[in-house]
């Protein structure tokens, strides 16, 4: 049961208003649909920097949520092509969570397309979802449906999220 959830959008483009955050309201809606009594909060967007993402997660944990979802920053293209946006959500979570599981999805170009991370800290499930709208919504929906079914094992959660994301990619909807 999720009584309190926190959504943390990431990305310089979200923070400075270049891109409108449509993901947070949609994910909030999915959470409330499955857990009608849940308190859902959206944090201020965080820039694409590991230290800022880690501090945002640590601040959110002080509120004792059951679920934290970070949006964006799951790719890794900048490690291969310097002009691509920097993505650090996955690496920040891997640094801050005591135990994490992850799934890497590799794009048709052979580069990291998305790295989904899920873990637990202080009784809170913490996971990331990609930034592109369709990918974010379907990945979050898979996570939330699993939690609604009573699944709390990060291994199962990340596998189901990756399965949902891969389905979008194979259908040609992935970025």
pLDDT digits (tens, 9 = 90+) for 51-102: 999 999 999 999 999 999 999 877 655 555 555 556 788 889 989 999 999 9
**Cβ atoms of residues 169 and 105 within 8 Å:** yes
Q: Provide the pLDDT confidence category of residue 4 given band limits of 50, 70 and 90.
A: very high
Between residues 34 and 73, which one has the greater pLDDT? 34
Q: Provide the pLDDT confidence category of residue 173 given band limits of 50, 70 and 90.
A: low
Q: pLDDT of 104-124, one tens digit each?
A: 887 777 666 788 999 999 999
Query: How far is Cα 12 from Cα 165, in angstroms, rounded to an integer?
Result: 23
Using H for helix, E for strand and C for coil, what is the string for 105-131?
EECCCCCEEEEEEEEEECCEEEEEECC
Between residues 29 and 168, which one has the greater pLDDT? 29
pLDDT > 70 fraction of the chain, expressed in percent and rounded: 88
Q: Provide the pLDDT confidence category of residue 21 given band limits of 50, 70 and 90.
A: very high
Q: What is the pLDDT of residue 42?
A: 98
- Rounded (10°) CA dihedral 14, 19, 20, 24: -50
The one-character DSSP state at 40 is E
Q: What is the pLDDT of residue 82?
A: 57
Q: What is the pLDDT of residue 61?
A: 97
Q: Domain 4-170 class? A: alpha beta
- Among 72, 82, 26, residue whose Cα is nearest residue 48: 72
Query: How far is Cα 41 from Cα 118, in angstroms, rounded to an integer?
Result: 19
SS3 content of the chain, % helix, strand, coil (to 5): 40, 25, 35
Least confident of 14-23, 46-55, 101-110, 130-139: 101-110
| Stated pTM of the model | 0.91
Over residues 7-28, the mean pLDDT reads 93
């Amino acid at each position: 049961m999720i009584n309190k959830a926190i959504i943390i959008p990431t990305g310089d483009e979200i923070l400075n208003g270049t891109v409108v955050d449509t993901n947070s309201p949609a994910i909030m809606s999915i959470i409330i649909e499955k857990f009608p009594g849940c308190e859902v909060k959206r944090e201020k967007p965080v820039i694409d920097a590991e230290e800022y993402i880690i501090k945002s997660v640590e601040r959110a944990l002080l509120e004792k949520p059951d679920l934290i979802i970070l949006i964006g920053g799951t790719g890794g293209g900048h490690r291969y092509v310097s002009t691509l946006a920097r993505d650090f959500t996955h690496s920040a979570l891997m640094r801050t969570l005591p135990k994490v599981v992850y799934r890497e999805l590799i794009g048709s170009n052979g580069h990291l397309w998305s790295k989904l991370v899920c873990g637990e800290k202080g009784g809170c499930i913490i996971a990331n979802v990609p930034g592109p709208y369709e990918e974010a919504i379907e990945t979050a929906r898979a996570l939330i449906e699993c939690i609604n079914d009573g699944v709390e094992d990060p291994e199962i959660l990340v596998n189901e999220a990756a399965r949902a994301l891969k389905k979008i990619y194979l259908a040609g909807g992935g970025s």
